[in-house]
Amino acid sequence: MSVASRTDRPGLVARAAGASREAARDPILRRVVVVDLVAAVLIALTVWRPGAPVSVLDGPHLPGYWLLLALTAATCLAELAVVRLRHGNADEELTLYEAALLIDVLLLPPHQALIAATVAMVAASVVQRRPPVKAMFNVGAYSAAVCALIAVVHVVGGTPGEIDFGVILGVLLGTLVFGAINLFLLAQILGVVTGRPPVRIIVAESRLSAFMAIGSVATGLTIVEMLRHAPLLLPFAAMPTLALTYAYRSAAHEADQRARAAIMLQLSQVLAERSDLVPRFLTLVREAFGADLAVVVMEGADVALTVDVETPADVTPGPVPAYLRTLAKLREPTFVTEGLPAGLGLALAVPVRTGDAVLGVASLAVWGRPRGRLSGGDGALFAPLASALAAAVQGAQHVERLATETSKLQAVVDQSTEGIVVVDGAGTVQLHNQAFAELTALAAPDITGRRLVEVLDVPDRDQRTQVLPVTPEQPKLPVELAITRRDGEQRHLRLAHSAVFDGDDLVRDVVVITDLTREYRAERLKSDFIATVSHELRTPLTPIIGYLDLLRNRGDKMPAEKRAGALDLIADRAKHMSRLVEDLLLASRVGDGEAGPALQVTMGTHDFVAIVRQVTDDLASARIVTDLPDEPIPVGCDQGRTVQVVANLVGNALKYSPETEQVRVGIRRADGRAYVDVADDGPGIPADHLEKVFEKFHRIEDPMTMRTGGTGLGLFIARRLAQAMGGDLTLDSKVGVGSVFTFSLPLAGG
């Protein structure tokens, strides 16, 4: 036994009449009117027929119109007995309507068969509460197809009164024509809604329609024979249909449950991921419950998010529906049938709530008559899903706030000028900021996962225990350590610990590390300055005091030549002291930074070659090797200050290089500037001191053990003088190789 089938979009014509389908309504209505007009013409031709109206077969002999009434009622019940199967966005409706039509056509005269078919369809539309436009389309389409069925059966049919080959052929051809007309008319409507060519729809559904037509013929003829010859067997004829219906519904229900379970799994993933939370939730719940429309309105929002069956992947914002606006404080699942937008047959609304907090309302709706597609069980399942949505929304908001606060904290940590380190109970670094990486001169992969005592290279083994000295009695403890960085520079650090203990076990320690190197250096500079100045002042004072005592006690007895030599020595040492005092005063007027006040210089045009030659001649050292051009090189400078700078550079080279090594002095021109290079083969200067040697009072040697004199002001003043004259003083040095100081000045007129 077979059943009849028709494919229809859920609520297709009803939604075409809705306010949200204004663009598609007019073309659909025009096609409905055309279908009804064609049906009216065919009905008129069928009713008006010359000769006595007779049936194809002899049916049960019932008085009056009882057979017509009985078959009309049976046809209406056949239309109402629907088994629905979802196919994506379409519904497959399986009924016995076409089989019932065949019985009407075979047992009733043409006009009565047409009345039975039309009245049954109208009655079914009223019972199902179909929208008027859809009811008009169904009545017109089926009436036109029934007229064609009647015409084919009566034209092709064989001997009236009995089932023979002609009757069977007529019924088969008529049913095929019936299905073809019905499919053609439906394709016109589907083409408007989906935008697909009607021909493609007809081709896609034609095979199924043909098979269903054959099944309807078999069912109808079997029932007709039972009615005519064995009416007592009719109840048994319904058994295969009922069994098939039950089995199909059970299979469809199981398939729906499997599909819903798969969607529920996706929903759980969406709620856990919290990415595009509400739109993805809407899309999945609409599909899970087979609804035509899903809407969510969150508290305080002026728009509703909507997804419908026509565009299941698109979530669109729009105005809040009036029926949901009145349910803003909904507490329990509620079915709504009144006040719905045009075309909606039923809506299920549930609160989006967590605990006592209501965050909004969610709704599922179906077009036209719902036909049991939403039930109380759906409400019991939809409500906890909405609550899960509320919890996920709150969780997402909490995560967002947490991420915001975390980003603020991370920004504070990252932008802090002090190093911040978090270590675990084993002293392993779990987290650190960029300032700590800069303090240690290590890359992040070389820090994270290593023990703090390994990251901080403490040369003093006794001090290594102080890297993590906290105890349950002293969880907060500051310590100061000296470390050696990978580049060889030594740093002085203060580690402020803030530890958390679980009993005697260390859980976590947050260490804030402050670089005290500058402070240590400042203190050392102070002590170095006192030691250096004391040493430098004592050097000239000693001979001055000694010779003054000598002249005071024995000056009149000394030869004139020795007395003059003593006075010259006193004068020379006094000049040396004067230069020391002048350097100190000069340094006090100039700041350490680049923005400090500039030194006063008297600019003019002078021969750079002559100035350098004068300095080398005055120093008169056989170790000096010059490479000077023969032609003059005019530069803009202060002659006296230029001599001071060059003399300082050459003198330092002689002082700090071995007495057996040469000092090379050369001049070159490039890019509008003149350069004098003073190179030595001394011990060289470490990389971390290349710029520090130009700072005030900076000495690489320890003042208490240094082998050479000086205040540490010479290079500081030399660079400041060079910059004041528009030039510069730079240094290139390698430990164990030597140093090259380069003094540059702009060429005159350049």
Residues above pLDDT 90, as percent of the chain: 6
pLDDT (tens digit per residue) in 104-163: 888 888 888 888 888 888 888 888 777 777 778 778 888 888 888 888 888 886 556 677
- Residue 597 within any structural domain of the chain: no
Q: How many domains does the chain have?
A: 5
Q: Are residues 189 and 73 in the same domain?
A: yes
Helices marked H in 89-164 — which ranges? Answer: 97-107, 110-127, 132-156
Residue 663: how many CB atoms within 10 A of its CB? 26
Residue 677 burial (C-beta neighbours within 10 Å; 0-12, 13-18, 19+)? middle
Q: Are residues 175 and 42 in the same domain?
A: yes
pLDDT value at residue 17: 38
- Residue 409 within any structural domain of the chain: no
Q: Are residues 72 and 124 in the same domain?
A: yes
- Residue 240 within any structural domain of the chain: no
Residue 47: how many CB atoms within 10 A of its CB? 14
624 or 641, greater pLDDT: 624
pLDDT-based confidence at residue 221 (cuts at 50, 70, 90)? confident
Return the minimum-mean-pLDDT range out of 6-20, 45-59, 121-135, 564-578: 6-20
Q: Are residues 497 and 529 in the same domain?
A: no
pLDDT (tens digit per residue) in 515-567: 888 887 777 767 766 766 666 666 677 778 887 888 888 877 788 888 888 88
- What CATH number is given to the structural domain containing 664? 3.30.565.10
pLDDT (tens digit per residue) in 715-735: 887 888 888 899 999 988 888
- Residue 67 within any structural domain of the chain: yes
How many Cα atoms within 13 Å fall on the side-chain side of residue 278?
25
Are the beta carbons of 4 and 212 closer than 8 angstroms?
A: yes
Domain that holds residue 420: 416-509
pLDDT value at residue 586: 66
pLDDT at residue 23 greater than cutoff 60: no
Q: Are residues 691 and 711 in the same domain?
A: yes
User: 454-458 long-range contacts, Cβ below 8 Å, gap at least 24?
Assistant: 455/429, 456/481, 456/483, 456/493, 457/483, 457/484, 457/485, 457/486, 458/482, 458/483, 458/484
Are the beta carbons of 334 and 327 closer than 8 angstroms?
A: yes
Helix axes 198-229, 234-273, angle to 10 degrees: 150
pLDDT value at residue 703: 41
Q: Are residues 100 and 144 in the same domain?
A: yes
Distance between CA atoms of 90 and 312, rounded to whole angstroms?
12
Average of per-residue pLDDT values in the chain: 78
Q: Are residues 553 and 609 in the same domain?
A: no
Residues above pLDDT 70, as percent of the chain: 82
Return the minimum-mean-pLDDT range out of 122-136, 622-636, 639-653, 659-673: 122-136
Q: Are residues 465 and 497 in the same domain?
A: yes
pLDDT value at residue 372: 60
pLDDT (tens digit per residue) in 669-727: 998 899 999 999 888 888 777 777 777 666 565 443 344 555 567 788 788 888 889 99
pLDDT at residue 4 greater than cutoff 50: no
Residue 371 — left, alpha, or beta (φ > 0 → left; ψ -120 to 50 → alpha)?
A: left
pLDDT value at residue 743: 93
| CA–centroid distance for 653 within its chain | 61
23 or 615, greater pLDDT: 615
Q: Are residues 532 and 625 in the same domain?
A: no
